[in-house]
Amino acid sequence: MRSKNNKKVKLILKDGSSYEGKSFGANISSLKSISGEVVFATGMVGYPEALTDPSFRGQILVLTYPLVGNYGVPRKELWESEKIQISGLIVCNYIDTPFHHASQMSLGAWLKEQNIPALEIKDTRRLTQKLRTEGVMLGKIQFDQKKNNEKISFVDPNLRNLPAEVSTKKIKEFGIGRETIVVIDCGMKFNILRRMVARGFKIVVVPWDTDVTKLDFPFRGVVISNGPGDPMKAKATIKNVKKIIKQKIPILGICLGNQILALASGGTTYKLKFGHRSQNQPCVQNDTKRCYLTTQNHGFSVKKIPTGFREWFYNANDNTNEGIIHKKLPFMSVQFHPESSPGPLDTDWIFDFFLEKAGLINKKDKIK
Amino acid sequence: MNKKKFKKILVLGSGALKIGEAGEFDYSGSQAIKALKEEKIKVILVNPNIATFQTSKSLADEVYFLPINDYFVEKVIAKEKPDGIMLSFGGQTALNCGLNLEAKGVFKKYNIKVLGTSTESIKLTEDRQLFADHLKSIDIPIPPSGSAVNLKGAQKIAKEIGFPLMIRAAFALGGQKSGVATNEKELEEIVEGALAISPQVLIEKYLHFFKEIEYEVVRDEFNNIVTVCNMENFDPLGIHTGDSIVIAPSQTLSNREYYSLREASIKIVQSLKIVGECNVQFALNPSASTVDGKVDYFVIEVNARLSRSSALASKATGYPLAYVAAKLALGKSLIEIKNKITKVTQSFFEPALDYVAIKMPRWDLEKFKGAEEQITSAMKSVGEVMAIGRSFEEALQKAVRMQSGLIEGVTDNGFKDEKELKKFLTIPTPKRLFALTAGLMKGMTVKNLYNITGVNPWFLSRLENIVRVEKELLKTHKQKKEIKKEEMLELKQTGFSDKKIGILCGKTEFQIRKLRKSFGIKPSIFAIDTLAGEVPSKTNYLYLTYHGNHNDVLPLGDKAIAVLGSGPYHIGSSVEFDWSCVYTAMALKRHKKKSIIINCNPETVSTDYDMSDRLYFENLSFETVADIFEFECAYGLIISVGGQRPNNLAKKLSTEGFHILGTSASDIDRAEDRNLFSALLDKLNITQPKWQSFTNMQKALKFIEIEGFPVLVRPSYVLSGSAMSVCYNKNELRNFVSKAVVLSGEYPITISQYIENAKELEFDAVAQGGQIMIYGISEHVENAGVHSGDATIVYPTQRVYASTEFQLREISQKIAKELNITGPFNIQFLVKDNRPSVIEVNLRASRTFPLLSKAMDANFPEIAVDAFFGKALAHKFIYPKNVIVKSPQFSFARLLGADPVLRVEMSSTGEVACFGKDYDEALLKSIFSTNKFDVDKKTVLLSLGGSLNKAKFLEAVNTLINIGYKIFATDTTAEFLKSHNIDCMVVRKAFEQSPNALDIIISKKVAFVVNLSKNKLESKIKLNSITDGFRIRRATVDNQIPLFTDLHLARAFIKALGHYKISDLEIKSYKEYLQN
């Protein structure tokens, strides 16, 4: 249960509003930075996955579901990256008595171990409503009002090259298979890897700025992973993807990968007012009556569809772009997360579709 | 796609409310009808449930108050010639009826399309074996099982399935010789024991402490699928989901589990080609994954229709499931249907909740004499509540208060001793939640309790938190005698009511309320917007929470009037009160007022998203109503249309200075307080049965010496069993008082003269400033002594003198004037020898309101609202051209051990009413609507106790003979009949050797059974021995054979049967009856 000595901590937004709460994560003394972009996510499960999703890098995450911590934290193999990626966590009620057979530790213990601050403020709904109407906002978590008031300034993580921060530093191989697929890691969720490996491919993960056309081994396709921040900051990746397009190597972009593929092909992107961060985003496949429920986590979106491409999916709620596909060549990308984790498994078929278009599998080989 | 445009669609309702099929189908049917009307489709509805909203004149184009069975529905089809039919909005009743019609080729004959899920798919889900095979074919696991006739066979199956195993003896009742085997040795023991009493053993995988999880799935014909909601049961597998505390969304599932089960639901729904709604229930292993690391689960059940769970899911999330399902059945896609809540998004999405919703069942097992308390896989609850909060503790404690109206929280538990506590921990009963909390209060550990009950430790930890907060309050209050602001806030966030806090520190509810408000601690008003605040939306669906510090809405101010709903359905308070609430709320528009509904029952229409300007899904307690009222700064409150629960708040709300519309609280008190009311009647010179309150037995016996037996005894404190009883002699009186009630200075008992062989009449009316504006008098078919909720009621009266009716009107007018009544009221009269006496006055809408409103084509709640504003007009009484008969619906078959006999305490769970050209015709339709009646079977079993019953029944027996019935009769009845030269077959008593009365019943040889007891207390006298009559009655209901236990009703029914054949019964719609 909540112990009495929990400190009162404040979340302060750039507009001056502040929210007091009880701390259940890391302590200030061991912290380096506690400012970031405050965003909210509405998923009701999947906090271990969300917290380790590199797309949340630099962000203070508000979870709208009011009970968080219920089933603890599973072993590392089930996370979406090596560590917690968010800068801070805001919940309504933290549950310190998890019960689950897969749990290794409580959420609070994990946050402490990973040095991430977390706050229990009651009215997360008001905070959400604010971010929704006024747009995402910079914020900071302040532990001691006297000491740190001036020390921490509001840092906009989107000004940084976030993919560079979260990307792998060296090339890594996973799985066994006759054919190889390269994943450009801009902040890749591990489940992209797991879903491809499950299909019997060898996966080589390369740093975000790798010129894959210069790799010294054969491969049959490229996946541009998800990742945090403004796609315009990933200039090196955009430049390299242009080369891949030129060589007509099959491409699948996911989330940030969708934006990078669009930018590399002559499209444009823009920042959404409050982004999509939930597990219930409806995406309609263009020219069909089929709609899929998807997980999303992005603050930027594709505006202009590049020449030669058509819109593949659109969002049934706000009509924003959810994917593009080349009219002739095997270049395609989706704004949502076909690898889910967290979220619905409805669009896992995207991997099959890509592999089929890339000429790597036949229809009958599909995983499902 | 060549889409057919439907012109006329037939919708089947679910008939009377019964255990397992309650008000949720009024909600789903109403939404479906609205969805169809939007498409300009003509809607025909068959549903004899007169108290439902869906049977209102304003909803469907034509309503037929007729039995929902293949005979009557086919007649309606032949007459109306619809081009489509919807089977999934009326529960199992509608589904079964539809399958029968399909089997008979009716749909083919009349070229009717079944909309939504096809009958083939429905059949597949209804047939256990076919369904199991189907699931296997799509790789969805079901609990493995098998059967064996010897030990060797059993061992082979055990090897295939693996331990632990559940072993049952086939063909054995009540789980005899069944058990759990965890190893070879146990297997051998149990199988040998079982084979000793049965030729076969059934073996299945024992899903020990598995979690029970449900998904509500929606699919359109383009294969778009969403799961609107998932839910988790508080209790482990083994307790019917209708009897479980249910939490939405699931609390203990990881992302992997949540989405794996979701994927499985989608796979099933896809394979069944469901169009509309479907519910999938899973058992999930709480302690491990499968060996290959996958989620370890089994599918338990699939319902290819709207269900109680879907109604709950709809209310828990704000997603209008039934409305959407109806649109999908017409061939629309999920993307085409707008989200009714946000109005900006569409229906293809899965609601994100930023709160938890907890459903708690309402049982009334103590109302059924003899009924077993244990809850199992067969549902026993009669209603439910749903509570919304931002913590589990907050929602749970709310739910507990909503459910009973008396208990203040989970820590309210009075288990006598360790032994009793242990019993209620071990055996699942409605008290288990309280036993768990009591265990924690006594220092038992979460682990220990989990091992005993299998309730997930996550839930137990939440209970532990509640216990901790309570203990801390007791400790600090003991030391400091004060509550600090922070403590108060934590108490409120943990769900403690002001009253409970008061009880814990020796203060009143009002003192705590004052203190709390002085701290500025008030609940926040939050909206349910289906998207957790992600999209701005103007929703009117609200709840209160202490986990917030802003309000989502602004007060409506003095334009608004709050209508208090009825709370959970239970014995004595059902859909009829919801009907009155809905019409009251709607009528406020006529007076340019905005309506606020407060109710906590997810099975109702009043809690639908479009019934009021604002809906608070909240408790009907003083605290909550006051918080809402103060926030809204509303004009006033209406407490007189939701039954007794809101009515009870009159005094407190009025003391707080809130404006109650209609009759004043002090006048309500004069009617409710037995002494004040008695004095009032004496003053007005109105007769009442003699009564007195007593604090000791001597004085009571003295009173009885003068007035004589029988007497009606009403205790003020009940230990167990009935709240009232009729006693015929001193022994019975002593027995009842000593065993069942407390008699002391603090808890007096009330004894009143019990008038035998009297008629009972209901006077329902609306008055304005003491003047009656409209009234209706209806008559009980049974004599007084049968609770008015269990009585068969006929309107207009059939056997009442005009002079009696005149007297009733005069008396009622006098009372209305004296109490200065404005609004609805009901008076119950006893009439003997043309002399009426008043038994009871209720200054609120009664159960009979929808019946009379529909029969008289005058909307009583609307007139009541007019009266509140002084605008009601006196209605001229027009004598009706038709007759309407209301029949009660009993659910005894669901309640093992309960004696199906009518008593002074109500035990019916629902009702129907049918119109007819005369009493006989209406009575037949009405009785056919509440019973499965085989008119072609011309045999009957008579067991008539006492010579008076026998003599009074002679004419009815002759009628039966005349229309060709063959009669089986028990010993003395047969002797009597033979002495009157009536041919009959003698059957032995139930306890005698076979073939006896029970064999006749079990082999379904008879169309119906008449069992009249010597006096109403036959079974009471022999409290512990099972009587012959009980066995006959029990066997009759267990075999779903119509049972008559009342002389007057049985005679009336047989007389009607003599007048009309089933083919003579008119197939006329409600509108036709009104025009007639």
Q: Which of B259, B345, B534 sits opposite A42 (nearest CB)?
A: B534
Query: Is the residue at A63 inside a domain?
Result: yes
- Contact state of B390 with A66 under an 8 Å Cβ cutoff: yes
Facing residue for A70 by CB, picked from B223, B349, B458: B458
A92–B286: do the CB atoms touch at under 8 Å? no
B546 interaction partners in chain A (CB closer than 8 Å): 122
Nearest chain B Cα to A275, which residue?
B534
- B877 pLDDT exceeds 90? no
Interface with B, mutate which of A52, A92, A99 (most B CBs under 10 A) = A99
Residue A287 and residue A176 in one domain: yes
Q: What is the pLDDT of residue A5?
A: 46
**Predicted confidence band at A366 (pLDDT cuts at 50, 70, 90)?**
low
Surface of A (154-173) touching B: CB under 8 A: none
Contact predicate B89/B52, CB 8 Å = no
Distance CA(A318)–CA(A303), nearest Å, equals 13
Sheet holding B691-694, edge to edge: B691-694, B749-753, B711-715, B725-727
Quick one: pLDDT band at residue A3, thresholds 50, 70, 90?
A: very low
pLDDT of residue B370: 80
Same domain, A185 and A106: no
CA B452 to chain centre: 30
- A99, A124, A280 ranked by CB distance to B252: nearest: A99
pLDDT at B1022 over 70: no
Strand partners of residue B214: B231, B281
Please report which confidence band the pLDDT of residue B716 belongs to, taking 50, 70 and 90 as the band edges. Answer: confident
Residues paired with B148 in a beta bridge:
B201
pLDDT class of B1028 with cuts at 50, 70, 90:
confident
Is residue A1 assigned to a domain?
Answer: no
Q: Is residue A66 part of a domain?
A: yes
- Both tokens of B710, joined, read 């029988």
Contact check, Cβ <8 Å, A291/B465: no
pLDDT interval class at B720 (50, 70, 90):
low
Q: If pLDDT is split at 50, 70 and 90, which confidence band does B749 have? A: confident
Ramachandran angles phi, psi of B1072, nearest 5°: -65, -40
Please indicate if any CB of chain A lies within 8 Å of the CB of B258.
yes
Compute the distance between CA of residue A328 and CA of residue A316 in angstroms, rounded to an integer: 26
B348 contact residues in A (CB cutoff 8 A): 282, 291, 293, 316
pLDDT classification of A150: cutoffs 50, 70, 90? low
Tell me the residues of chain B between 596 and 615 that have a Cβ less than 8 Å away from chain A.
none
Any idea what the CATH number is for the domain that residue A127 is in?
3.50.30.20
Q: What is the pLDDT of residue B174?
A: 52
The shortest CB-CB distance from B222 to any of A125, A290, A317 is to A290
Q: Is the pLDDT of residue A147 over 80?
A: no
Once rounded to an integer, what is the mean pLDDT over residues A8-37? 84
Domain end (from A118, A140, A158): A158
pLDDT-derived band at B165, boundaries 50, 70, 90: very high
Q: Which of residues 23-62 of A touch B (CB under 8 A)?
A: 40, 42-46, 48-49
Residue B386 has pLDDT above 90, yes or no: yes
Query: Is B531 an 8 Å CB contact of chain A?
Result: yes
Q: Are residues A111 and A203 in the same domain?
A: no
Which A positions 68-87 lie with beta carbon below 8 A of chain B?
70-71, 74, 78
Of the pLDDT bands very low, low, confident and very high (cuts 50, 70, 90), residue B722 is: low
- Cβ <8 Å between B547 and A92: yes
Candidate from A219-223, A335-339, B652-656, B732-736 with smallest mean pLDDT: B732-736
Query: CB burial class (10 A; 0-12, 13-18, 19+) of residue B559?
Result: middle
The distance of B128 to chain A (nearest Cα, Å) reads 27
Question: Taking residues A1-19, what's their average pLDDT?
Answer: 75
A324 domain residue, yes or no: yes
User: Is the CB of residue A327 less than 8 Å from the CB of residue A308?
Assistant: yes
How close does chain B come to A194, measured CA to CA in Å?
14
For residues B345 and B30, which has the higher predicted lDDT (pLDDT)?
B30
Beta bridge partners, A174, equal A203
A367 in contact with chain B, both atoms CB, cutoff 8 A: no
Q: What is the pLDDT of residue B1025?
A: 52
Rg (CA), chain B: 29
B757 closest CA partner among B808, B827, B832, B689? B832
Closest CB from A101, A122, A284 relative to B549: A122
Q: Does residue A93 sit in the same domain as residue A205?
A: no
pLDDT in tens, B1037-1048: 988 999 999 999
How many Å apart are CA B52 and CA B709, to the nearest integer? 41
Give Cα B171 distance to the centre of its chain. Answer: 31
Same domain, A177 and A142: no
Q: If you measure CA to CA, which chain B residue comes closest to A101?
A: B287
CA–chain centroid gap for B108, Å, is: 36
CB contact under 8 A, A280 and B350: yes
User: Which of A232-241, A316-325, B602-611, B710-719 is predicted least confidently?
Assistant: B710-719
Q: Are residues A109 and A215 in the same domain?
A: no
3-state secondary structure B391-451: CHHHHHHHHHHHHHCCCCCCCCCCCCCHHHHHHHHHCCCCCHHHHHHHHHHCCCCHHHHHH
- Six-digit token pair at B384? 């439910």
Q: Per the CB < 8 Å rule, is B548 touching A101?
A: no
Q: Is A2 inside any structural domain?
A: no
Distance CA B884, CA B842 (A): 23
State the CATH number of the domain containing residue A340: 3.40.50.880
pLDDT tens-digit readout, B964-988: 999 999 989 999 999 999 999 999 9
Residue B289: burial class (beta carbons within 10 Å; 0-12, 13-18, 19+) = middle
Closest CA to B644 of B717, B579, B567, B721: B567
- Among B254, B287, B392, beta carbon nearest to A45: B254
* Residue A3 belongs to a domain: no
Of the listed ranges A27-41, B763-777, B990-1004, the least confidently predicted one is A27-41
Among B1-5, B592-596, B884-888, name the one with the lowest average pLDDT. B1-5
pLDDT of residue A28: 65
Residue B349 forms contact with A (CB below 8 Å): yes
Where residue A337 falls among pLDDT bands split at 50, 70, 90?
very high
Give yes or no for a contact between B732 and B754, defined as CB atoms under 8 angstroms apart: no
Over range A67-79, report the average pLDDT.
97
SS in 3 state form for B451-514?
A: HHHCCCHHHHHHHHHHHHHHHHHHHHHHHHCCCCHHHHHHHHHCCCCHHHHHHHCCCCHHHHHH
Q: Are residues A322 and A229 in the same domain?
A: yes
Q: Between chains, do A342 and B255 touch, taking CB under 8 Å as contact?
A: yes
**How many structural domains comprise chain A?**
2
A304 and A276 share a domain? yes
Q: Which residues of A touch B351 (CB under 8 A)?
A: 280
Residue B543: CB partners within 8 Å, gap ≥ 6?
B355, B388, B389, B525, B526, B528, B616, B617, B618
Closest-CA residue of B relative to A49 is: B255
Q: How far is CA B232 from the centre of its chain?
A: 22
DSSP A35-76: EEEEEEE--SS-HHHHHT-GGGTTEEEEE-SSEE-TT-B--G
User: Which residues 288-347 of A have a C-beta within 8 angstroms of B?
Assistant: 289-291, 293, 316-317, 340-346
Catalytic residues of A: 255, 337, 339
Q: What does the pLDDT look like over B269-326, one tens digit per residue?
A: 999 999 999 999 999 999 999 888 899 999 998 999 899 999 999 999 999 999 999 9
In terms of domains, do A221 and A102 share one?
no
Sort out which chain B residues have CB atoms less than 8 A from A48's CB and list them: 254-255
Residues on chain B touching A343 (C-beta within 8 angstroms) = 255, 259
Q: Cβ–Cβ of B263/A345 closer than 8 Å?
A: yes
Interface test with A, best of B254, B459, B490 (most A CBs within 10 A): B254
Q: How far does Cα B170 stand from its chain's mean position?
A: 33
Distance between B873 CA and the closest CA of chain A, angstroms = 48
Contacts 24+ apart (CB under 8 A), B504-512: B504/B470, B504/B473, B504/B474, B504/B477, B505/B473, B505/B474, B505/B477, B509/B622, B509/B623
Residues A166 and A152 placed together within one structural domain of the fold: no
pLDDT confidence of A4, banded at 50, 70, 90? very low
pLDDT digits (tens, 9 = 90+) for A267-280: 999 999 888 999 99
pLDDT (0 to 100) of residue B575: 95
Complex ipTM value: 0.96
Asked if A275 is an interface residue toward chain B (Cβ–Cβ < 8 A), one would say no
**CB spacing of B352 vs A43 below 8 angstroms:** yes
- Domains of chain B: residue spans and CATH: 131-138+208-351 (3.30.470.20), 145-205 (3.30.1490.20), 361-518 (1.10.1030.10), 525-661 (3.40.50.20), 690-753 (3.30.1490.20), 759-880 (3.30.470.20), 936-1060 (3.40.50.1380)
What confidence score (pLDDT) does residue A316 get? 93
Closest approach of chain A CAs to the CA of B336, in angstroms?
A: 10
In degrees, rounded to 5, the angle at the alpha carbon of residue B867 between the alpha carbons of residues B866 and B868 is: 90
**Model confidence band, residue B1023 (pLDDT cutoffs 50, 70, 90):** very low
Which range marks the domain in which residue A77 is found?
8-158
Say if the Cβ atoms of B352 and A291 lie within 8 Å: no
Per-residue confidence band for A149, with pLDDT thresholds at 50, 70 and 90: low
- Is the per-residue pLDDT at B1021 higher than 70? no
- pLDDT band of B843, cuts 50, 70, 90: very high
Q: Which residue has the higher pLDDT, A355 or B1016?
A: A355
pLDDT of residue A330: 97
Percent of chain B with pLDDT over 70: 97
Query: In this structure, are A185 and A149 located in the same domain?
Result: no
B485 touches chain A (CB under 8 A): no
- Residue B180 binned pLDDT confidence (cut-offs 50, 70, 90): confident
| pLDDT class of B535 with cuts at 50, 70, 90 | confident
Q: What is the mean pLDDT of residues A353-368?
A: 83
Radius of gyration over alpha carbons of chain A, in Å?
20
pLDDT (tens digit, 9 = 90+) per residue, B556-587? 999 999 999 999 999 999 999 999 999 999 99
A177 touches chain B (CB under 8 A): no
- pLDDT in the model for residue B176: 66
What is the pLDDT at residue B10? 98
* Tokens, residue B556: 């409506």
Residue A139 included in any domain = yes
- B462–chain A nearest CA distance, Å: 8
| Residues of chain A with C-beta less than 8 angstroms from the C-beta of B255 | 45-46, 48-49, 341-343
Cα distances (angstroms) measured from residue A331 to each of A246, A253, A257, B1054: 11, 8, 11, 80
Report, as an integer, the average pLDDT of B341-350: 83
Q: Considering A158, A189, A223, which residue would you say is the last residue of a domain?
A: A158
Determine, yes or no, domain membership for A87.
Answer: yes
Give me the sign of the Cα torsion angle B434, B439, B443, B445. negative
Alpha carbon distances (Å) from B700 to B500, B744, B753: 36, 12, 12
Task: Render pLDDT for A238-285 as a digit per residue (tens, 0 to 9).
Answer: 999 999 999 999 999 999 999 999 999 999 999 998 889 999 999 999
Residue with token string 């006096």: B1015
Q: Tell which of A158, A190, A205 closes a domain.
A: A158
List the single range of B159-163, B603-607, B911-915, B1017-1021 with lowest mean pLDDT: B1017-1021
Same-domain check for residues A141 and A179: no
Q: Do A70 and B547 touch (CB under 8 A)?
A: no
Q: Measured between CB atoms, does B38 come within 8 Å of chain A?
A: no
Residues 192-251, chain A, touching B (beta carbon < 8 A): none
Q: What is the pLDDT of residue B1?
A: 40
